[in-house]
Amino acid sequence: MENLNIGKYVEHFVDWLSDAGEPVFRQITIIIENCVDVMQGALLSIPFYILIALFALLTFFIKNKSCRRSNVTKANAKDIFDLPIFCILGFLLIYWMGFWEETINTLVLVIVATFIILLIGIPLGIWCARNKKVNAIVRPLLDLMQTMPAFVYLIPAILFFSVGNVPGVVATVIFSLPPAVRMTALGIRDVPKEIVEASVAFGCTGRQTLFKVQIPLAMATILAGVNQVIMLALSMVVISSMVGAGGLGESVYAGIQQADVALGFEAGLCIVILAIILDRTTQSIGQKKEVAK
């Protein structure tokens, strides 16, 4: 008895899709490439010390708003400055190690991928929360996307988008999408039914109830999903260096190929610094929304 060769049928489907969808994939490639190139060029054209100062001011503003909402006392008011100071010191260390350009490239890839993920994931999560049939269809797909090894996504990405930043961004979007959908759906479903019924009783339409009641109350959960998306996107962007995506992942991959411990450690340290800054910043935004809730 012959074995069931599922991979053969998947390969035929991917080949057919690659040919049939070539015009669409070309347009997607152009859009993503232009977005990445424009953002990378814009950020790298700014002197590093000004960009570091802007990042520090942004984190200070977010942290300050979070602490004000949570009625922080003077005793722990220093917490407001922890993240901006770490941001300044961390980025200065990255610059002094010579990985500034790679770090900015990685940050841009994460931003572009996260934007696409949220553009798809939040509406899909809302749809899943409001429609049980859609949720029943999407849920197993999300399980498949979340459990599939990350390297597998690189294979069709190369076939559809060649090599470079674009297949890296596309693979990152697929790999990091599930938390955005799940957390959005969870947040919408967790809004108390009494509040939803009260909004309807006061004459709110379905759209008004969604945008003025459910989404604001679910915002803390949605932002927790955004935090997970960013962390997954950062990890996948590093892996995407195997298909030609630039940034810190390229240096890590070069360190592996050359057995260069110093290069691998320095690039890895830059990734850790960037991950901590992104993680703590998005956590501060989520805490602010949760307290306001």
- Where residue 101 sits, what CATH number does that domain have? 1.10.3720.10
Model pLDDT, residue 74: 46
Tokens at residue 116, please? 């696409």
Range of the domain at 251: 6-292
Residue 244, φ and ψ in degrees, nearest 5 = 100, 5
Rounded to whole angstroms, how far apart are CA atoms 237 and 235?
Answer: 6
Residue 68 has pLDDT above 70, yes or no: no
- For residue 139, tell me if it sits in a domain: yes
Identify which has the larger pLDDT, 263 or 75. Answer: 263
Percent of the chain with pLDDT over 90: 32
> Across all residues in the chain, what is the average pLDDT?
85
> The pTM is what?
0.87
Identify which has the larger pLDDT, 65 or 281. Answer: 281
- For residue 1, tell me if it sits in a domain: no
Number of domains in the chain: 1
Tokens at residue 240, please? 């995407």
Residue with tokens 């009783």: 201
Rounded to whole angstroms, how far apart are CA atoms 54 and 88?
Answer: 10
Residue 13 has pLDDT above 90, yes or no: no
Range from 58-72, 171-185, 186-200 carrying the lowest mean pLDDT: 58-72
pLDDT classification of 77: cutoffs 50, 70, 90: low
pLDDT classification of 289: cutoffs 50, 70, 90: low
- For residue 52, tell me if it sits in a domain: yes
- Rg value, the chain, Cα: 21
Model pLDDT, residue 108: 93
Residue 258 has pLDDT above 90, yes or no: no
Residue 66 has pLDDT above 70, yes or no: no
- For residue 240, tell me if it sits in a domain: yes
Rounded average pLDDT over 183-196: 89
pLDDT classification of 245: cutoffs 50, 70, 90: confident
- For residue 57, tell me if it sits in a domain: yes
Residue 69 has pLDDT above 70, yes or no: no
Rounded average pLDDT over 197-203: 83
